[in-house]
Homo-oligomer: A and B are copies of this chain.
Amino acid sequence: MLEKTTRMNFLFDFYQSLLTPKQKKYMSLYYIDDLSLGEIAEQYSVSRQAVYDNIKRTEAVLEQYEEKLQLFAKFRERKKLIRHIKDLLQRENLAESKKEIERLVEQLENME
């Protein structure tokens, strides 16, 4: 469940500009502010089921965008490369790591 929450937080972060204001609001209250379905329903005077359905639909929409644009997947791949480059920059003998750093920077450049 935590894993799903983290994933939804990221997907929401990447694609929220493509959502409707209502989708954005419910998702933000549920995933960012950590409100329960009941609390959101009360706040908007709608049924708990209506909030649940809306959030489930929005989650599916976010997954569809990710399937098409892969922003989260690419983000994770870039992070991994950058972390690796940062590690190599900390090595004692930088000249020795140069080739490897260059290779990683190249990979980063070709990732788009």
Contact = CB atoms under 8 A, between A and B. Distances in A.
Contact of A17 (B18, B69, B95): B69
Q: How many copies does the complex hold?
A: 2
Interface in A66-112: 68-69, 71, 75, 78-79, 82, 85-86, 89, 94-95, 98, 101-102, 105, 108-109, 112
B89 A105 contact: yes
A16 to B, nearest CB: 9
B105 A86 contact: yes
A105 B88 CA distance: 12
B89 A109 contact: no
B68 A82 contact: no
Contacts of A86: 102, 105, 109
Contact of A82 (B15, B98, B108): B108
Given A17-B69, A69-B18, A75-B112, A82 B94 contact: no
Given A94-B94, A98-B94, A82 B69 contact: no
